[in-house]
Structure 1
Amino acid sequence: MRLQREATLTEVRTVADATQQVLLRPVPRRLGPLKIESLYLTATPHARVGGDFYAVADTRFGIRLILGDVRGKGLPALAVAGAILGSFREAAYESTDLARLAERLEATLLRDDAASLAQGDPAELFATAVLAEIPRQGNTATLLSCGHPPPLLDRQGAIAFLPTEDPAPPLNLGGLLTTTCRPSRFDFRPGDQLLFYTDGVSETRDATGAFFPLLAWAQDQMTAPARPPLNCLHRALLKHSGNNLNDDIAAIAVLKTS
């Protein structure tokens, strides 16, 4: 019986690994002028994937990136994340700008079949996300936040949250808008580094309930190029939480080298 249980567990883990490869495909470590590092941790014990998601697409419009967080946890959140990623991997190559790309993702969640993934009130189905477009040539990048925490920008050791001029609501709540949101443009020069993250990072708490000091951590760690920043982030989150991470966590660090 013990051997049977072990064989079943091995089979389940193999299926979970295959699911992760399909839904959350590995991000290339190098893409054009960008060096990319990714981090993914799930709150569910022994799970490989959860409700946080990210993807990168090398398109004719530039290198496009999405990182986001589905409301809730478990299999319903995983199904919604899969629907968004599938839509992104198609629409990223066709949408002429990030506003239209966000509209395509919104349409995916408005369909009845996607709403049923919530396993409850469809009005409770939504996901925050941040979309970015970085050109292979030139220093002007584009950002659109759909209710998501702002990324961090490191420029020569000066680190700050990157503001968004006209943020959109979370995906599936676009009906609240009366006008189309406009993506923000910002300088992204060689040597600059971006950190995208989900609220599982910024809202990690310690034993006293204090949030993880993300900005202070970034000022200390992101300015040290010899250290992989997300490896350091993982260790810092574990230390801050007392090895008790209770939310899905996703992060992507993007360094422009040329």
Structure 2
Amino acid sequence: MSPLALPRRRRNERETPSDVPALDPPITVGRWDVSWTLPAALLLLIVVADWRAPEHMRIVTWIGLVPAFAAGMCGVWTTAVFAVVCLGTVIGLEQSLDHRYPMGGSEFLLVVTACVLSVLASALRLRANRQVRRLEDAAQATRLAVLRPIPPRIGGVRTANVYLAAERAAKVGGDFFDVQPTPFGPRVLLGDVQGKGTSAVDAAAALLSAFREAAYYEADLAVVAERLEHRVRRQNQYVSLLGEAGERFATAVLVGLPAEDTGWLEIVNFGHEAPYVITDERVWALPEGEGAPLGLTELTGRLPPVRRVGFPAEATLLLYTDGVSEARDRSGAFLPLAEELERASDTSPRGVVDLVENAVLRHTRGRLTDDTAVLAVCRDPDPPPGGLALD
């Protein structure tokens, strides 16, 4: 994984709150915590400098920087130890050196104050980190409740996915995706609810629950699309009864793969980015979303049509949200996704998702401006028996 991706979990693995990296991880070498080495080195440098400095220079007054550095890198007890050592060092140097310019009482009081404040700052830093960590755990639990983990092999397809959160302390947003095995073949949904916050998450959860039921029981993909549209409208009506302002809509892509490989798939695009099909020979985009987003089809008077497009048996289908298509570098240039895909050496779902993830993080230098969801699927040439799920 790219170092820029460290704050964010990837792959098809279930991420529990305890899996989330610490906000302020210690500096380690192997299994050893070496965060204390920088304050210790600074302390040694100040002592040596004061020992060798001319009599009119008192470098030791800078020793208050040592516990300040420790407060930003170490725990409370380690910071307290550095504070005590620094005070002892000051007293020891004053007694060992016959200075013409001894440290005054105000200077010593300044060092004492710096040591005490550093210990307090360390305690406050750790307390704030614990608070943010609890918020991260709650947000992560919410995301897992909405975006359930997708097995790498399910319902006759192989899958891979990644969710990159733009705001590290709030790992929930309106991006959603799922793969549902059905008697009619696997069906895939990916989309993005307009807006942020818990109301966007609530709308995404409503859409996913409707998809999981309708996709399994409805043979016609157009009926599944209609159920999704009705679910968004009902959700908006419910929210309005609660007195919350603003209706939600969602761009989305709904895909159905026949149970038997027929060389094609069905797709309904609700104003979303065009998915890509990737093979070892070429890369091409499926039709753009000419329909209105979910929740706004009343404006056009009809649902987007179900289109049948070619999909070779060896191909991988890539779906993504606007965190990919609108990823910009420092100059404002968009990510050339098609060019990145054309350079893919591994066209499996895992390889494609890894490529897109690394391309987005490299292009934006890890500064994501929007949540990013990426999902790739391909037909499983040797599906395991009994892979049909009922939920």
Larger Cα-atom Rg = 2
The size of the alignment, in residue pairs, is 255
- Which residue of 229, 232, 254 corresponds with 1:131? 254
**1:142 Cα deviation after fit:** 0.7
Could you list the per-position Cα deviations for residues 36-78 of structure 1 after superposition, in whole angstroms to 9, with x for gaps in the alignment?
1101112222222211100111111211110001111222222
User: For residues 215 and 305 of structure 2, what CA distance do their matches in structure 1 show?
Assistant: 17
**Structure 1 counterpart of 2:321:** 198
Whether the aligned pair in 1 keeps the contact of 2:266 and 2:308 (CA below 8 Å) is: yes
**1:218 Cα deviation after fit:** 0.6
User: For residues 86 and 175 of structure 1, what CA distance do their matches in structure 2 show?
Assistant: 22
User: For residues 280 and 352 of structure 2, what CA distance do their matches in structure 1 show?
Assistant: 15
Alpha-carbon spacing, 1:210–1:171, altered in 2? closer, same or farther (3 Å)? same
Structure 2, unaligned runs of 5 or more: 1-122, 382-391
The answer as to 2:332 corresponding to 1:217 is: no
TM-score (norm 2): 0.60
**Structure 1 counterpart of 2:188:** 65
**Structure 2 counterpart of 1:46:** 169
Whether the aligned pair in 1 keeps the contact of 2:316 and 2:347 (CA below 8 Å) is: no
Bigger shift: residues 24-33 or 218-227? 218-227
Higher relative contact order (CA 8 A, sep 6+): 1
Bigger shift: residues 144-153 or 85-94? 85-94
Could you list the per-position Cα deviations for residues 128-179 of structure 1 after superposition, in whole angstroms to 9, with x for gaps in the alignment?
0000011231223111100001100113321011126x84210001112334
User: For residues 176 and 349 of structure 2, what CA distance do their matches in structure 1 show?
Assistant: 27
Q: What are the within-5 Å matches in structure 2 for residues 6-155 of structure 1?
A: 7-111=130-234, 112-114=237-239, 119-122=244-247, 125-139=248-262, 140-155=264-279
Bigger shift: residues 210-219 or 152-161? 152-161
Bigger shift: residues 91-100 or 152-161? 91-100
Structure 1, unaligned runs of 5 or more: none
Whether the aligned pair in 2 keeps the contact of 1:221 and 1:227 (CA below 8 Å) is: no
Alpha-carbon spacing, 1:118–1:106, altered in 2? closer, same or farther (3 Å)? farther
User: For residues 184 and 163 of structure 2, what CA distance do their matches in structure 1 show?
Assistant: 27
Secondary structure at the counterpart of residue 313 of structure 2: coil
Alpha-carbon spacing, 1:118–1:225, altered in 2? closer, same or farther (3 Å)? farther
Bigger shift: residues 225-234 or 41-50? 225-234
Residue identity in the other structure for 2:353: L
* CA RMSD between the two structures: 2.4
**1:105 Cα deviation after fit:** 1.2
Secondary structure at the counterpart of residue 92 of structure 1: helix
Secondary structure at the counterpart of residue 237 of structure 1: helix
**1:98 Cα deviation after fit:** 2.0
| Runs of 4+ with deviation above 6 angstroms | none
Whether the aligned pair in 2 keeps the contact of 1:157 and 1:223 (CA below 8 Å) is: no
> How high is the sequence identity, in percent, across the aligned residues?
37
